[in-house]
Amino acid sequence: MKKRKLIFLVPYLAWIALFVIMPIILITVYAFRDEHGFTLSNFSQFFTNGTFLRMTLNSFWYAFLITALTLLISYPTAYILSRMKNQQFWLLLIILPTWINLLLKAYAFIGIFGKGGLVNSFLGLFGIGPANILFTNAAFIFVAAYIELPFMILPIYNAICDVDPAVMQAASDLGANKWQAFKRVLWPLSKSGVQAGIEAVFIPSLSLFMLTRLIGGNRVITLGTAIEEYFMTTMNWSMGSTIGVVLIFLMIIVMISTSSSASRRKKREVKL
């Protein structure tokens, strides 16, 4: 039995060693290295050059806005959904778009937001001249929120469904108005779903470099875009790794402060 257990364990441990530990070590090594050997210059550049700090702050700000927008749209959706007939069917309708490739959806928005696109022809009906929509911050945030929406709706929906309707009934029997019932009962009880949703949306929002390029026109640079640029375009792997290490570090902080580590699992669990 001992031996068999080893056979079970070896490929898995090899995977952990090669694809989890090694990459982390390598990216850290690159962050602290230049052509002469060990250096802290990348980090000092990162923390003294205002541009990098600004970019990091911006990046978190955008991720926050995207998360807030999705939460704002998702919570009522999830609530109404949980009170409807044929929930399975409606849920399926909401999940369906996640099966369409993300890039295709982003590509659709290039057309929709263009000067002659859907939104502007719609505005044109009201005599509002063609507006600049593509390549604005708002466009980027909207498209990102659009893409993350189902991943926020589902965990919240699951959490709300877990709330015993009798509890809500009891609340209103005891004279709570709707707002009180929501604030005192529903919200606290569905908080775990909200938390899972936030985690499922916030971290991926930091690395949507394809959207910053296609929809943001490179006018929105997030940490993800910066890493991609340093690795794939300017070939400055050590600076890219430095930003990566900073991002990992910030993530750990976010993670510890919101606990629960298997966040993305929840995000994907809904996809089947």
Partner 1 sequence: MKKLVIAICSILVVCLGLGLAAQKLEGNSSSSGNKNLIIYNWGDYIDPKLIKKFEKQTGYHVIYETFDSNEAMYTKIKQGGTGYDIAVPSDYMISKMRKANLLEKINTKKIPNFKYIGSQFLGKSFDPKNEYSIPYFWGTLGIVYNDKYVKQGSIKHWDDLWKKNYRHNILLVDSARDIMGLSLASMGASMNTKDSLKLKMAKTKLDGLGPNVKAIISDELKMYMIQNEAAIGVTWSGEARTMLDSNSHLHYVVPPEGSNLWFDNIVIPKTAKNKKAAYAFINFMLEPHNAAQNAEYIGYATPNIKAQALLPKEIRDDKQFYPSQQAMKNLQVYQDLGPKKVQEYNDLFLEFKMYGR
Partner 2 sequence: MKRIKWSRLYIALVLIILYIPIFYLVYYSFSSGQNMDRFGHFTWVHYQELLADSRLLAIFLETILLALLSSLVATLIGTLGAIAVSQIKNKKIKQLLLTLNNVLMVSPDVIIGASFLIFFTALGIGLGFGSVLLSHIAFSIPIVVLMVLPRLNEFDYSLVDAARDLGASNWQVFSKIMLPGITPGILSGFFMALTYSLDDFAVTFFVTGNGFTTLSVEIYSRARQGINLEINALSTIMFILVMIIVIGYYFISSRSGKKGGRLL
Q: Give residues in contact with partner 1 (CB under 8 A).
A: 49, 51-52, 54-55, 58, 114-116, 132, 134-135, 213, 216-221, 226, 229-236, 239
Q: Which of partner 2, partner 1, none lies near 166, with the C-beta cut-off 5 to 8 A by kind?
A: none
Give the x/- contact pattern for partner 2 in 105-144, rule: CB under 8 A.
xxxxxxxx-x-xxx--------------------------
Other Cβ atoms within 10 Å of 65 Cβ, number? 17
User: For partner 2, which stretch binds (CB under 8 A), given 43-51, 133-141, 186-194, 247-255?
Assistant: 247-255
Closest alpha carbon to 238 in 22, 30, 24 = 30
Nearer to partner 2, 48 or 190 (CB): 190
Closest to partner 2 by CB, 150 or 194: 150
- Residue 189 interacts, among partner 2, partner 1, none and using kind-specific CB cut-offs from 5 to 8 Å, with none
Q: Which stretch binds partner 2 (CB under 8 A): 46-54, 132-140, 145-153, 166-174?
A: 145-153
- Count CB atoms within 10 A of the CB of residue 122: 11
DSSP bridge pairs for 33? 38
Q: Which one of 37-45, 86-94, 132-140, 189-197 is the stretch in contact with partner 2 (CB under 8 A)?
A: 86-94
**Binder of residue 269, out of partner 2, partner 1, none (CB less than 5 to 8 A by kind):** partner 2
Read off the tokens for 57.
């702050």
Cα dist from 179 to 76, 168, 176, whole Å? 13, 12, 8
Q: Measured between alpha carbons, how far is 142 from 158 in angstroms, rounded to an integer?
A: 25
Please tell me the distance from the alpha carbon of residue 159 to that of residue 196, in angstroms, as a whole number.
10
Choice between 104 and 256, CB closer to partner 1: 104
Q: Counting runs of H as helices and runs of E as strands, what totals does the chain give?
A: 15, 2
Residue 109 near residue 139, CB atoms below 8 Å: yes
- Which amino acid appears at position 105 of this protein? K
Cβ-based nearer residue to partner 1, 51 or 172: 51
What is the contact mask toward partner 2 in residues 43 to 82, using x (rule: CB under 8 A)? ------------------------------x--xx--xx-
In order, the DSSP letters of 175-194 are T--HHHIIIIIIHHHHHHHH
